[in-house]
Amino acid sequence: MARLKLQRFRASEPPDDVQARYIRVYKGRDLHDHPGTLPPISAETLFGVSAPLVLDLGCGRGEFLVEQAGANPDRYFVGVEWHIKSVWDAANRAHAAKLDNVRIVRADLRLALPIVPDGAAAEMLLLFPPPKLAPGERKDDLLNEAMLHQMHRVLLPGGLLHFVTDHAAYFAAKRALIEAGGLFAVQGESSAFEGGLTRFQRIWEAMGIASQRLECRRL
Ligand SMILES: C[S@@+](CC[C@H](N)C(=O)[O-])C[C@H]1O[C@@H](n2cnc3c(N)ncnc32)[C@H](O)[C@@H]1O
């Protein structure tokens, strides 16, 4: 089945004060050319506290991120997303919910993870990443070996990686990669209709496609 392209939607650019509060932009060129000169992506720089983060990698329009942040006011949530209108939408949503425990980092995840300090996150969400499986797409895959090493470095020992996809072949390939890597232990696996927790999950579930979920503990 052809993949859905759902990035055409109306989103209003947040006012300057909302952008200043919620959005941090890391340009690809800066991340690539001089990552060491940029502020690290950490609870200290984003929230002014010392605390473990929850990272939503490819947070899209931020519905799940904002809902989780509202339900867990004592935790610190960071969505990473490169699509500008999704970033705006997520920031508007966080502002409407009057939350101060959410930030949206606009960046290419593959370049942004290396500037997250070791052990900065207690949890990571990778929810419906684009399923890149062709050999020529390996560098674009958000769950390739290099990304898994970064996730392992960034998570605290015992921290959790939640991976969810609608795509059976992608799930099987990534499960095998995770199990072979020795960096994570699979501690939960399911295939289920979960009630549309994220925007993409709602779309796939409406089409009769269940989500495949893997919960992995960082070793
Ligand atoms: C299929 S959507 C899933 C969105 C959300 N997690 C959900 O479940 O509704 C995948 C998201 O990942 C983002 N994305 C893909 N590659 C990315 C990258 N290299 N850096 C940052 N975001 C990326 C896309 O822009 C898109 O918003």
Q: Residue with the nearest Cα to atom 27 of ligand 1? A: 60
Confidence of residue 38 (pLDDT cuts 50, 70, 90): very high
For the segment 40-64, what is each residue's pLDDT rounded down to a tens digit? Answer: 999 999 999 999 999 999 999 999 9
What are the backbone dihedrals phi and psi of residue 189, each rounded to the nearest 5 degrees, phi first? -145, 135
For the segment 103-114, what is each residue's pLDDT rounded down to a tens digit? Answer: 999 999 999 999
* Structure confidence at residue 155 (pLDDT): 98
Distance CA 108, CA 57 (A): 10
CA 30 to chain centre: 21
Q: If you measure from the C-alpha of residue 59 to the centroid of ligand 1, how many angstroms do you get, rounded to a whole number?
A: 6
Does ligand 1 lie within 6 Å of residue 204's CB atom? no
Q: If you measure from the C-alpha of residue 129 to the centroid of ligand 1, how many angstroms do you get, rounded to a whole number?
A: 6
- Residue among 59, 124, 128, 123 at smallest CA distance from 94: 59
CATH top-level class of 16-218? alpha beta
pLDDT at 5 over 80: no
Q: Residue with the nearest Cα to atom 10 of ligand 1? A: 129
Q: If you measure from the C-alpha of residue 200 to the centroid of ligand 1, how many angstroms do you get, rounded to a whole number?
A: 10
Q: Residue with the nearest Cα to atom 25 of ligand 1? A: 83
* Structure confidence at residue 9 (pLDDT): 84
CB 79 within 8 A of CB 91: no
